[in-house]
Chains A and B, each alone.
Chain A
Amino acid sequence: MSNSGILLNRNGINGSTSDDYDSRIPVLSIDMEDPLKHADVIELRGGTVWTEAAGVYNSWSEVIWEKRHGLKFKPKVLSYYYVIDAPARSATPILSIGQYYPNVLQAPSGIPYGSEYWTTEADEEFIRIRHTGSQFSSTSPGFNGAYLGLGNDVKFRFKYLITQSPDIAV
């Protein structure tokens, strides 16, 4: 904490309360000056359209977007996915158009076919979007379909805020 700063009471309140504005206490904040752009909204497509034959187990992972943040630590990132377009298939993972997804864009499993999701990652240099998919396999009658992934057939908007505070995952 700083020794110096500005303290402002709420109207009509004398003495310190937790509602005071107190410039000595750090605040979760975003650098707006940074040329590396720590807040933005971009449009993307989902990556590789993975396919797999029926009865085969497989899983995939790829980075579809990354951006250097320029901080000297792994930052806490707030992110939101918004689905602009997605195929209306019944036998694959399904996404609903017009929905917001915080931090993870998860296509519910098209059981028995597989699942697919997009996650926001950060390390000491980059933030990234990782696209992950898996084909479930079963030999039970009626539960054994070929996998046709979503990938680039999905179009989404990605909003991110790279904060000035470190991620606290252990």
Chain B
Amino acid sequence: MAEEFGVSISRSGVPVDKSPDYSKVLDSRWRTLQIPYESSKTFTFPASAGDGSWDPPIAVFNHNLGFFPLTEVGTSIPHSSPANIFPAATYVDILIDKSNIYMVMNRDRFSPQPAQTVVIKYRVYNIDIGKDYQEEAEVKLGSGTGKSDHGVKFATEGNRIDDGNPRHFSTDTTKKQLAVHQVKIFEEDSFQYKVEHNVGYPPSYMTAESPRRHYLNVYFMGDVKVEEYYGPVGYDREMVGPIYDFSNFSTADGTYLTLKGIQSTQTAPVVIVLKDPLGISV
């Protein structure tokens, strides 16, 4: 690991230099799943005339992070995902660029539609899924379960340090902070995706949608490649999608994680490898 300085906290009774990396409750050199923004909003899409035009996209939140952040969303009507090949008749696309989270309404554009209200909850993580990233593994397999009696707590503004509500702390090192070992972007759609992580154990992971130009049809007319934009005005730029759970399965060992069964005709995933083993409880 490049950084020579920082804060590292292991479980009680385990010396820091002998602690497996997945067992530490905090290591300031690692990227963690920090949550700089989390909120809920309600928007109303106006009634449409059914003249074939697209609903204008809505800017849900200006995160202004300057990169494609890993983002989690929940919506009151279905939102699309790469696994959702046959989405509901009415759904929203959630798209994220380096500045904003956007919501695009997809409904029948050729018959009149009533106004529609959508509630969206979002959680933005401080993890850039627009470029590959990998830590050096420092795993030392073995001891390291149990609690941590030592460390620091920071209460959020207006809350007391003896407050028992876990949501009232920004940092509490009696809890284990989930850290990211690797971000791996796949660009081509495939029947399987193999990640060389070298973390030393089969790791837990999350998936999101890799950067691409949404609303872009790519096809061939003979030998000529045609790229045809078909979406709402201004949406021909590169964006990522939110975290999605789709029907996939994987094999994993200490070196490779291979995702299979991703039946998507639209895009390839970003795989976020966590410093957390699949097979043992830590």
A159 and B250 form a contact (CB under 8 A): no
Complex Cα distance, B11 from A41, in Å, reads 19
The answer to whether residues A27 and B252 also contact, given A2-B170, A161-B276 and a CB cut-off of 8 A, is no
Stretch at the interface among A30-38, A50-58, A59-67, A134-142: A30-38
The answer to whether residues A1 and B165 also contact, given A18-B67, A28-B178, A29-B177 and a CB cut-off of 8 A, is no
- Total B residues in contact with A, Cβ cutoff 8 Å: 74
B171 and A27 form a contact (CB under 8 A): yes
> Which residues of B from 184 to 211 have beta carbons under 8 Å from A?
202, 204-207
CB-defined contacts of A71 to chain B, threshold 8 Å: 166
A124 at interface, CB cutoff 8 A: no
A89 at interface, CB cutoff 8 A: no
The answer to whether residues A26 and B65 also contact, given A39-B281, A100-B251 and a CB cut-off of 8 A, is no
The answer to whether residues A102 and B248 also contact, given A8-B6, A33-B174 and a CB cut-off of 8 A, is yes
Complex Cα distance, B260 from A19, in Å, reads 31
A153 at interface, CB cutoff 8 A: no
B76 at interface, CB cutoff 8 A: yes
CB-defined contacts of B65 to chain A, threshold 8 Å: 18
- Total A residues in contact with B, Cβ cutoff 8 Å: 53
Partner of B202 from the list A11, A18, A22, A100 (CB cut-off 8 Å) is A100
B170 and A5 form a contact (CB under 8 A): yes
B152 and A2 form a contact (CB under 8 A): no
B73 at interface, CB cutoff 8 A: yes
Complex Cα distance, B137 from A118, in Å, reads 33
CB-defined contacts of A6 to chain B, threshold 8 Å: 7, 28, 152, 171
> Which residues of A from 4 to 30 have beta carbons under 8 Å from B?
4-6, 8, 10-11, 18-19, 21-30
B241 CB to nearest chain A CB (Å): 16
CB-defined contacts of B279 to chain A, threshold 8 Å: 41, 82, 157, 159
Give the residue name and chain of the A residue nearest to B35 (CB): A26
Stretch at the interface among A125-133, A144-152, A162-170: A162-170
**A-B interface, 4 closest residue pairs, ranked by CB to CB distance from nearest:** A21-B28, A28-B33, A29-B175, A168-B121
14 CB < 8 A contacts A-B: A6-B171, A8-B28, A21-B7, A26-B35, A29-B172, A30-B175, A72-B165, A78-B206, A80-B204, A98-B251, A100-B249, A161-B276, A165-B38, A169-B121
